[in-house]
Amino acid sequence: MKRPIIGIPSSISTDKRTYFIGDNYDYNNNNYSKSIINALGVPIILPATKNLDVLNYQLNLCDGFLFPGGLDINPLYYSESPKPLQNKSNELMDWYQITLAKKAINLNKSILGICRGMQLLNVVCYGSLYQDISYFKKNHIKHNQENYLGEKTHLITTINNSLVNSLLGNKYIVNSGHHQCINKLSNCFKATSYAPDGIIESIEMINKKFIIGVQWHPEILALKDLKMLNLFKKFINSCK
């Protein structure tokens, strides 16, 4: 049986060691690959590039894409200036992932966006973000947990007739490792779950087979949590 090929765009880290200072490294947390493999997909890491010929080759090579967590998205992409609590972004990483996501959506490729990846999907489709959750509301719950992300930390409530509701039921406890959240939701998406403070925890694109974003980190929970693994299985099956 042919296994779908899932492209994972790389994050970028700048080396600070004296003899490599300024060099960039492509990387991703290995749990993304583990979860794709456990769901019977084949993960490949996609290095960021501004070479459009290479990007298009990557696009056509893959059956689906997982956009991972990572750095903040430059707020210029949603027409805002940076505020004091905006964290580090990377120009190449932003341009590459946004360009790749736009092309993948136009081709109706299956996409799973995780944490930054969910925020990226919203920005690509002309939504916006709160640059820090405190700009949304002061009395929010803790969304950037200090415990290991393999532990669950807060409740979400899902919306009927959504994929996350079918997988997780009406309520579920998830992990949480983010300081930004969705502000204006793109008209292309519907919100399908919420945290107790009203922050959007998952989105699903309207009239697409599988373009979904979740704010938590299922790739870590899926190693022990069957319901989270089933999210990856649904994703992989949609790529066939």
The residue among 213, 238, 164 whose CA lies nearest residue 66 is 213
Active site residue 179: no
Residue from 143, 178, 219, 239 carrying the catalytic annotation: 219
Tokens 């992990």 belong to residue = 175
> What's the CA angle centered on 143, arms 122 and 43, to 5 degrees?
55
Sheet strands side by side (includes 110-114): 42-46, 5-9, 64-67, 110-114, 211-214, 200-205, 189-194, 154-158, 171-174
CA distance 42 to 34: 10
The residue among 230, 211, 227 whose CA lies nearest residue 66 is 211
Residue from 62, 115, 188, 239 carrying the catalytic annotation: 115
Q: Which helix (H) or strand (E) holds 65?
A: strand 64-67
Active site residue 219: yes
Pairing of strands 189-194, 42-46: unpaired
Active site residue 115: yes
Residue from 125, 201, 217, 239 carrying the catalytic annotation: 217
Tell me which residues are annotated as active site.
115, 217, 219
